[in-house]
């Protein structure tokens, strides 16, 4: 059994190495220099932590089940950064280990597969037996960029292409790939919506967010975060497909309204339909909307400080931000008028409202 101490006590004042929401955004995980912590999102509440006495650089949940993917990190990694550990929190032990030739940059989980991101390769493994079923070559990807759909029976995977600024979108049901020429400079963030019908991208410049239809690779909207360069930390789609939001080192979360295109099955449809498109009607529609919505400004905004962060929407009209400084921000925006709103701020260490 893996050795850890004080499983029910919260890790206080530890440097945060990693933050990630689970697939339905109801929980988030936090990797620290001593282990990992799991929190409930709304209401914000500490659930449990595991203190290993060593750093965890990646911690990814599979919904709310007992299986968690771990990768060592920090000043004194608990596990080698070239290995993915599958941790069973019911048994309180590792149940599998996956070895790679270089440092693991990212991990994504689905019920049927495990996606492991390295510097220039992405490996897809079956969850049941860890068998490798796909390898994707990418350009240098130090941020471990990769996104998969969280709804639907078949996986859709977005990753950097071998050419800088381009994105591969792979549809595993159809065994086909769409290449999107998203930006001229290197990618800094990419995110699929929940059913994989739309893709949001940002480059290292961080001034624009671009929204694409993944089936055809066509641009749907171009959203302006600001005129000055910024590092985009996180992009999130609203669960019902109405909005998209981004956070950056400017310290402001921007929320944009999404257009509802004809022929695209949005997340507002709760059943797992196939993503279909009417090419003629959509193309005609795009000729009208793209020039008009060029550099569209944000609909609502809030300040959270210039901290590295991850963001998500709740099931209503609220935004949740978690920062590497240990804060959790929660706030609701006005769906009628938009504008600035002020979120509440909580501490991961104290769990007290500031």
Domain ranges for the chain: 1-109
Low-confidence ranges of the chain (pLDDT < 70): 1-13, 261-295, 350-354
Maximum distance among all alpha carbons in the chain?
Answer: 62
Q: CA 353, CA 237: separation in Å to the nearest integer?
A: 27
pLDDT value of residue 14: 75
H or E element: which one contains 320? strand 318-323
pLDDT per residue as tens digits for the range 220-242: 999 999 889 999 999 999 999 99
pLDDT value of residue 1: 45
Report in angstroms the alpha-carbon separations of 240 from 22, 157, 233, 273. 17, 20, 22, 14
Superfamily of domain 1-109: YVTN repeat-like/Quinoprotein amine dehydrogenase (2.130.10.10)
* Cβ(55)–Cβ(66) below 8 Å: no
Q: CA 148, CA 219: separation in Å to the nearest integer?
A: 19
DSSP secondary-structure letter at 298? P
pLDDT value of residue 226: 85
* Cβ(147)–Cβ(190) below 8 Å: yes
- Alpha-helical (H) ranges within the chain are 279-292
pLDDT value of residue 261: 63
pLDDT value of residue 351: 52
* Cβ(264)–Cβ(285) below 8 Å: no
- pTM over 0.85? The answer is yes
């Amino acid at each position: 059994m893996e050795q850890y101490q004080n499983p029910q006590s919260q890790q206080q004042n530890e440097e945060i190495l990693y933050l990630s929401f689970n697939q339905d955004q109801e929980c988030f995980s936090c990797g620290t220099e001593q282990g990992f912590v799991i929190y409930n999102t709304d209401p914000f509440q500490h659930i449990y932590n595991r203190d290993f006495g060593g750093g965890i650089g990646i911690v990814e949940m599979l919904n709310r089940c007992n299986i968690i993917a771990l990768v060592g990190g920090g000043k004194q990694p608990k596990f080698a950064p070239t290995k993915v550990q599958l941790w069973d929190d019911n048994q309180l032990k590792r149940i599998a280990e996956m070895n790679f030739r270089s440092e693991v940059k990212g991990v994504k989980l689905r019920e049927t597969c495990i996606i492991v991101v390295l510097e220039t390769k992405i490996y897809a493994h079956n969850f049941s037996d860890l068998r490798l079923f796909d390898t994707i070559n990418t350009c240098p990807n130090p941020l471990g960029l990769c996104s998969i759909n969280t709804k639907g029976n078949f996986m859709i995977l977005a990753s950097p292409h071998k050419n800088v600024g381009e994105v591969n979108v792979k549809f595993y049901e159809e065994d086909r790939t769409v290449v999107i020429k998203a930006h001229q400079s290197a990618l800094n963030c990419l995110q699929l919506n929940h059913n994989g019908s739309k893709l949001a991208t940002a480059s290292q410049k961080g001034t624009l967010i671009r929204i694409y239809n993944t089936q055809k690779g066509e641009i749907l909207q171009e959203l302006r975060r600001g005129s000055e360069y910024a590092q985009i930390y996180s992009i999130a789609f609203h669960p019902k497909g109405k909005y998209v939001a981004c956070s950056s080192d400017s310290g402001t979360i921007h929320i944009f309204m999404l257009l509802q295109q004809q022929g695209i099955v949005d997340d507002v449809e709760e059943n797992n339909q196939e993503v279909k498109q009417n090419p003629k009607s959509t193309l005609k529609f795009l000729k009208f909307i793209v020039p008009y919505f060029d550099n569209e400004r944000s609909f609502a905004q809030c300040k959270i400080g210039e901290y590295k962060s991850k963001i998500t929407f709740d099931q209503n009209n609220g935004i949740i931000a978690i920062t590497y400084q240990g804060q959790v921000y929660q706030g609701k925006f006005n769906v009628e008028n938009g504008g600035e709103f002020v979120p509440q701020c909580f501490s991961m260490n104290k769990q007290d409202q500031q």
